[in-house]
Structure 1
Amino acid sequence: MPPPTPPTSSREARFVASVLQRTQQDKGLAARLRRADNPATEYQSWEFLADWGINLEDEAQRLPFTLVAAAMAKAKAAHNGNLKLGQAMAACYSDGAKSDQAKPNCAAFWPATTCQSCAASCAPCWR
């Protein structure tokens, strides 16, 4: 179950805090979450997601949580950061937003109109 948190924090903030805490304590869960961004092994994260009340049948709800959990588990994050999405994407490249590799990936993200297209645009940054 999710750990108790202050009532003012959002569901997403509580989810991030839980991923941080649980992946440090449970290496098996960390391994399952690292595979959550792969459609063939994503199901391994579903028990954790279900504990958070995430509708597993609703891809638009499930994909953002799986992508964030996978990225955090792969990064072995020790604490929550404070970057905005664009800044986080740019930080994935050695030259930041000026990187020749970053430009097409970021350009592909902006017209994303669905959760799935957004997740597909972000995934290369975290793989």
Structure 2
Amino acid sequence: MSDVWELAAIATKFALYLGVLIAADTIIAALLFRPKRYRGLCLSFAILGLLAAGLSFSLRGANLAGDPSGMTDPEMLGHLWITPVGTVLIYLVAGLAAANKLRFIPALQANDPIAARHLTKSIFIE
């Protein structure tokens, strides 16, 4: 593949690492220091990680096909899904969904009824 696709793969990998690390570290910082506003930061970086994981998966499909049509080709992505790349995507999505739930723990420890209501709604949606 061309240099553009290699740069896109590097950029999505960087965004993935940034999203996962900051989402997880925000939760750890919230448990240790109890800041007032952290949930939005954690959610936004978890969403960044999810989008980067999906785009990285699609870019691997394009790399496997040899052209950009592999990014959306269901057959190519289906073949990619049963490889370790698909397993990694499942683990990333599950981990970031758990980070979305864990961001409510510090507020629940402080008996915040709004956080309890948001957590219930979030579990219901997923």
Query: TM-score scaled to structure 1, two decimals?
Result: 0.29
- Which gives a bigger RCO, structure 1 or 2 (Cα 8 Å, sep 6+)? 2
Larger Rg: 2
Comparing both structures, which one devotes a greater share of its residues to helix?
Answer: 2
